[in-house]
């Protein structure tokens, strides 16, 4: 799924953590929660009940005041990928690119001992076929096998699926949505629910060549990949121009919404090489 | 299966054109998109381009199928089936007026219907066609195996007031249901033995309905001008006794409730008599001749007659007006008089009244010359008193009904008639005390003229009851307009002057006519419209002459053991055409909806 060269490059990459990490102790990411570790963080005034062992007696000797030493706590960084399995992902090579990106993200997360899970969704969250969050290098190959066997099914209902995930009780962490984000019913409610639940959300909007520049220089039966029977007959440059105006407006609205709700948004064209996407678009935004 | 028009198969060569067009025409292909909602609804279709293109073959197959079916339909295919059992029977039932004849066993039609029903019941597996034989009849039931339907149609037949149908019409109706040779039996239930030579080629079994309780009929009734038109009209009636018993009855002629003429009548068996009787100058418009008799046929005891509406003459006036004379003309229907001068053009039906002037020599037409001269023909020289008018010929039409002794003349003109006129004189009324004429009637090929040799003011004529009679006589003699009869046979169309007129039927019901042709004329009697048009409709006289006892050997109505089974052609072109159109519709739907 991932070639050797790309894997070597991924070995040097790590997830960028921008928010408070509330994970399990033992991770490799410093948490703003204070706790027990070897890394000194700061001093603070002594309060009754503090452990005498952490009183900095040297400082007491110089300042004649009691201070206790505070250490940073290292925690892991949960990464959850919400994988869109609706049939619209079958247009172009969006599914393949989503599988590759999921593999990249999983590889980076697992090698850093972060908990990493994949939760497919279409009309609802497909929990029964999810890759439940786990950490550790040993899960890498099974995870690749899991990603390979993902199959498309059904329509997209972002709001329902994302709401389900937001209320699943999972530890807060990074949520990455792999989807084309085409949903007539909207996505706003779901994204807001994720943000409200405390997840850091990043949207990878995958767009195929047919989505950004369809060729309709002859008359066609327009069919919906998800709704099938609904067909319309049109064609010609006039139809294409009209569609492009429409899709541009849609993507702009999505981008503005994400920006307004502190949701990361990356529009990824599937015709670009994966290595270019990873190194030029993900690095600096998601990975470091 | 046979094809009546196999030439149509050449049209199958069109399939090459269909194939070429099909593959040259580019058809829309399915195009799957991620989100249909991002595509605007109102996008006009782009024009389909033409190029070599491999399209889905099912549409081509449907097009070729449609073409094949339409060509097949055009070739007029038919399948032949063998009729079951007793084959094909044509049943012709006479419903003309003579079938109303009452017999000891009901009417002749009732007998015929019983026979027809028996025939149908005896042939449960046969094919029947039912034909109504009368003027304006036709095929009532096309060829069918549904015996119950034929039976109910037979029982629904009623005798009409129409005449018989021409034989060639009946043959044509029967042949519309199949060639004559395809019928196993053609049975004609009628009361008339047709001897038309046409039937030699089309053999028919006649099932004759006969019998009757004796019949007397008026077979002719008309009113006509007498040979000498100046004598007015006469009525003509012919009465025939078709029964084997003598007839004693009364012939009456009436106009509405008014009795015009009646005469006792004695006729021996199978005898006929004709009556001619004069009618007065004022012939009633609607006349009915009737026989007071109870016999087997009621409709021929009365016959009706009417005239077309009479056209009154235009009356021109020259000279001093006379109010009395003008009023008398108005009483006869002449609404107004027109001024005349020698240059005025006149029609042959016009009348000129000249009062006290000299009529030009070359006058041609109809004229009443009162106290005037006719240049070179009549010249009055001096005045002379007389006492009473005396008639020399009271039978003359212009003196009919007059009493000349009632008329006194104070002054008359002493006339000298041209010798050319003298031999043509038809009436002279000399004055008392002399041999000079007071009235003269002149008639030539193109001229009718009555001369009155005194001024109306100088006599008491205008004050006597004879005056309107004289004016009426003068008008009818001077302008004898022949009356055109308006008599038709029942069922004949009435041509009205305009649409929407209300027609009064013999039953006094009023029906509004939808067009200018009125067709509901089944019953005999008078039909009239308010505008004045009237028609007398009578049953054809031939319907009274039906034989009373020409009983022939009854036809055997049981199935014949050697009845041939006839093959019947069932045309299939309509089904093929429908299937072809269905295939075309399916192809269109598949194309439009993108089903294939």
pLDDT tens-digit readout, A1-44: 788 899 988 988 888 875 544 544 444 554 554 555 556 777 88
B138-144, strands of its sheet edge to edge: B138-144, B127-133, B88-94, B185-190, B205-208
Strand, helix or coil at A70?
strand
Please name the residues in contact with A222: beta carbons below 8 A apart, sequence gap of 6 or more.
A231, A232, A233, A234, B31, B33, B36, B39
Centre a 10 Å sphere on the Cβ of residue B159 and count the other Cβ atoms it contains: 20
CATH classification (class only), B216-310: mainly beta
pLDDT number for residue B311: 62
Name the residue of chain B whose CA is nearest to A91's CA.
Answer: B34
Please name the residues in contact with B282: beta carbons below 8 A apart, sequence gap of 6 or more.
B472
Query: Residues B328, B467: contact at Cβ < 8 Å?
Result: yes
How far is residue A159's CA from residue A199's CA, in Å, rounded to a whole number?
15
Domain boundaries, chain B: 2-78+572-593, 84-212, 216-310, 315-478, 487-538
The tens digit of pLDDT for each residue in B161-190 reads 999 888 889 988 988 888 888 888 888 888
Total residues found in chain B within this entry: 596
Q: What mean pLDDT do residues B296-315 have?
A: 82
Please name the residues in contact with A253: beta carbons below 8 A apart, sequence gap of 6 or more.
none
How far is residue B195's CA from residue B173's CA, in Å, rounded to a whole number?
19
pLDDT band (50, 70, 90) for residue A257: very high
Task: Tell me whether A227 touches chain B (CB under 8 Å).
Answer: yes
- Which of A68-77, A130-139, A251-260, B118-127 is predicted least confidently? A68-77
pLDDT number for residue B525: 92
Domain A76-282 has CATH 3.40.50.410: yes
Burial of A208 (0-12, 13-18, 19+ CB in 10 A): buried
Residue B511 pLDDT exceeds 60: yes
Q: What mean pLDDT do residues A72-79 have?
A: 70
| Helix B57-74 vs helix B14-24: crossing angle, to nearest 10 | 160
Strand partners, B443: B448
CATH classification (class only), B84-212: alpha beta
Query: Residues B35, A88: contact at Cβ < 8 Å?
Result: yes
pLDDT band (50, 70, 90) for residue A163: very high
Query: Residues B189, B92: contact at Cβ < 8 Å?
Result: yes
Q: Which two tokens stand for residue B47?
A: 């024009």
Is B216-310's fold the same as B315-478's? no
Which of B27, B32, B48 lies nearest to residue A223, judging by beta carbons? B32
Residue B51 pLDDT exceeds 70: no
pLDDT number for residue B26: 64
Degrees, nearest 5: CA angle B100-B101-B102? 110
pLDDT band (50, 70, 90) for residue B290: very high
Strand B428-430 and strand B437-443: the pairing is antiparallel
Interface mutation vs chain A, best among B31, B50, B593, B595, most A CBs within 10 Å? B31
Cα torsion at A139, A140, A145, A147 (round to 10°)?
Answer: 100
How far is residue B401's CA from residue B470's CA, in Å, rounded to a whole number?
8
pLDDT number for residue B407: 78
Helices (H) and strands (E) in chain B, counts: 8, 36
Q: Which two tokens stand for residue B546?
A: 């039906």
Q: What mean pLDDT do residues B544-563 have?
A: 64
Cα of first residue to Cα of last residue in chain B, in angstroms, is: 34
How far is residue B31's CA from residue B385's CA, in Å, rounded to a whole number?
125
CA nearest to A277, candidates A115, A93, A89, A121: A93
A243/B49 CB distance under 8 A: no
pLDDT band (50, 70, 90) for residue B201: confident
Q: What is the mean pLDDT of chain B?
A: 81
Burial of B209 (0-12, 13-18, 19+ CB in 10 A): buried
B46/A239 CB distance under 8 A: yes
Q: Which is more confidently placed, A247 or B1?
A: A247
Kindly report the backbone phi and psi dihedral angles of residue A117, in degrees, each rounded to the nearest multiple of 5, phi listed first: -135, 150
pLDDT number for residue B225: 75
pLDDT number for residue A164: 93
Fold classification of B315-478 (topology level) = Rossmann fold (3.40.50)
pLDDT band (50, 70, 90) for residue B496: confident
Q: Which is more confidently placed, B562 or B211?
A: B211
- Which of A220-224, B279-283, B525-529 is predicted least confidently? B279-283
The tens digit of pLDDT for each residue in B406-463 reads 777 766 666 666 655 554 454 455 444 456 677 888 877 788 888 888 888 888 888 8
Task: Tell me whether A62 touches chain B (CB under 8 Å).
Answer: no
pTM of the predicted model, to two decimals? 0.45
Instruction: State the DSSP code for B300.
Output: G
Residues of B in contact with A238 (CB under 8 A): 43-44, 46
Alpha helices (H) along A1-81: 4-10, 57-63
Name the residue of chain A whose CA is nearest to B44's CA.
Answer: A234
- Which of A138-152, A261-275, B42-56 is predicted least confidently? B42-56
- Which of A100-114, A251-265, B337-351 is predicted least confidently? B337-351
Q: Which of A273-282, B13-22, B523-532 has the highest mean pLDDT?
A: A273-282
Percent of chain B at pLDDT exceeding 70 = 83
pLDDT band (50, 70, 90) for residue B203: confident
Domain boundaries, chain A: 28-74, 76-282
Residues of A in contact with B591 (CB under 8 A): none
Which of B27, B33, B49 lies nearest to residue A91, judging by beta carbons? B33
Residues of B in contact with A234 (CB under 8 A): 39, 43-46
Task: Tell me whether B52 touches chain A (CB under 8 Å).
Answer: no
């Amino acid at each position: 799924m991932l070639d050797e060269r790309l894997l070597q490059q991924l070995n040097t990459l790590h997830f960028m953590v921008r928010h408070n990490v509330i994970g399990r102790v033992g991770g490799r990411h410093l948490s703003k929660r204070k706790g027990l570790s070897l890394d000194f963080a700061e001093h603070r005034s002594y309060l009754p009940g503090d452990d005498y062992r952490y009183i900095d007696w040297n400082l007491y000797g110089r300042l004649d005041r009691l201070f206790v030493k505070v250490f940073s706590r290292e925690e892991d960084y949960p990464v959850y990928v919400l994988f869109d399995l609706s049939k619209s992902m079958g247009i172009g090579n969006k599914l393949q690119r989503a599988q590759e990106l999921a593999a990249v993200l999983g590889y980076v997360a697992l090698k850093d001992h972060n908990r990493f899970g994949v939760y497919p969704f279409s009309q609802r969250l497909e929990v029964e076929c999810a890759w439940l969050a786990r950490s550790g290098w040993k899960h890498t190959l099974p995870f690749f096998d899991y990603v390979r066997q993902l199959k498309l099914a059904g329509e997209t209902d972002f709001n329902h699926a994302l709401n389900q995930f937001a209320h699943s009780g999972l530890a807060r962490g990074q949520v990455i949505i792999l989807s084309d984000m085409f949903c007539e019913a909207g996505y706003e409610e779901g994204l807001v629910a994720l943000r409200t639940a405390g997840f850091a959300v990043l949207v990878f909007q995958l767009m195929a060549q047919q989505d950004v520049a369809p060729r309709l220089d002859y008359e066609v039966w327009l069919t919906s990949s998800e709704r099938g029977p609904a067909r319309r007959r049109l064609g010609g440059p006039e139809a294409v121009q009209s569609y492009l105006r429409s899709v541009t407006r849609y993507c702009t609205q999505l981008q503005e919404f994400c920006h307004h709700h502190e949701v990361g948004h990356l529009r990824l064209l599937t015709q670009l090489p994966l290595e270019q996407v990873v190194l030029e678009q993900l690095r600096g935004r998601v990975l470091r | 299966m046979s094809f009546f028009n196999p030439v149509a198969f050449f049209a199958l060569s069109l399939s090459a054109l269909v194939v070429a067009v099909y593959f040259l025409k580019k058809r829309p292909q399915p195009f799957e998109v991620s989100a249909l909602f991002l595509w605007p609804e109102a996008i006009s279709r782009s024009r389909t381009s033409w190029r070599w293109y491999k399209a889905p073959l099912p549409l081509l197959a449907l097009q070729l199928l449609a073409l094949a079916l339409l060509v097949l339909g055009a070739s007029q295919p038919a399948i032949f089936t063998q009729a079951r059992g007793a084959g094909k029977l044509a049943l012709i039932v006479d419903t003309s007026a003579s079938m109303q004849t009452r017999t000891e066993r009901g009417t002749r039609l009732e007998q015929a219907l019983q026979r027809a029903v028996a025939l149908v019941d005896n042939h449960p597996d046969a094919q029947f066609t039912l034909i109504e034989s009368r003027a304006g009849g036709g095929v009532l039931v096309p060829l069918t195996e549904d015996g119950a339907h034929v039976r109910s149609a037979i029982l629904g037949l009623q005798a009409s007031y129409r005449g018989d149908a021409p034989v060639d019409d009946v043959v044509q109706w029967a042949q519309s249901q199949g060639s004559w040779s395809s019928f196993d039996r053609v049975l004609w239930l009628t009361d008339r033995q047709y001897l038309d030579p046409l039937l030699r080629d089309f053999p028919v079994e006649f099932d004759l309905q006969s019998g009757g309780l004796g019949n007397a009929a008026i077979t002719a009734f008309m009113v006509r001008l007498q040979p000498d038109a100046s004598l007015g009209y006469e009525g003509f009636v012919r009465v025939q006794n078709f029964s084997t018993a003598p007839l004693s009855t009364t012939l009456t002629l009436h106009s509405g409730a008014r009795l015009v003429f009646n005469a006792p009548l004695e006729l021996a068996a199978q005898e006929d008599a004709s009556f001619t009787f004069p009618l007065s100058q004022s012939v009633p418009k609607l006349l009915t001749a009737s026989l007071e008799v109870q016999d087997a046929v009621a409709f021929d005891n009365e016959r009706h007659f009417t005239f077309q509406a009479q056209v009154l003459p235009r009356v021109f006036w020259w000279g001093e007006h006379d109010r009395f004379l003008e009023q008398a003309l108005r009483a006869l229907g002449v609404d107004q008089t027109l001024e005349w001068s020698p240059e005025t053009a006149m029609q042959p039906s016009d009348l000129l009244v000249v009062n006290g002037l000299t009529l030009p020599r070359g006058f041609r037409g109809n004229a009443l010359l009162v106290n005037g001269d006719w240049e070179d023909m009549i010249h009055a020289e001096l005045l002379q008193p007389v006492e009473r008018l005396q008639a020399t010929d009271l039978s003359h039409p212009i003196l009919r009904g007059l009493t000349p002794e009632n008329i006194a003349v104070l002054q008359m003109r002493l006339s000298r008639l041209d010798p050319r006129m003298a031999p043509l004189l038809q009436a002279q009324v000399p004055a008392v005390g002399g041999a000079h004429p007071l009235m003269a009637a002149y008639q030539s090929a193109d001229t009718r003229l009555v001369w009155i040799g005194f001024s109306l003011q100088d006599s008491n004529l205008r004050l006597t009851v004879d005056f309107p009679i004289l004016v009426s006589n003068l008008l009818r003699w001077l302008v004898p307009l022949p009356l055109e009869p308006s008599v038709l046979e029942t069922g004949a169309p009435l041509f009205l002057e305009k649409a929407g007129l209300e027609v009064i039927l013999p039953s006094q019901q009023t029906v509004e006519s939808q067009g200018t042709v009125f067709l509901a004329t089944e019953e005999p009697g008078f039909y009239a419209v308010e505008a004045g048009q009237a028609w007398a409709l009578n049953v054809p006289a031939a319907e009274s002459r039906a034989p009373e006892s020409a009983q022939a050997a009854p036809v055997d109505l049981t199935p014949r053991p050697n009845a041939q089974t006839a093959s019947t052609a069932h045309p299939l072109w309509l089904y093929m055409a429908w299937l072809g159109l269905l295939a075309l519709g399916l192809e269109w739907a598949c194309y439009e909806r993108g089903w294939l």
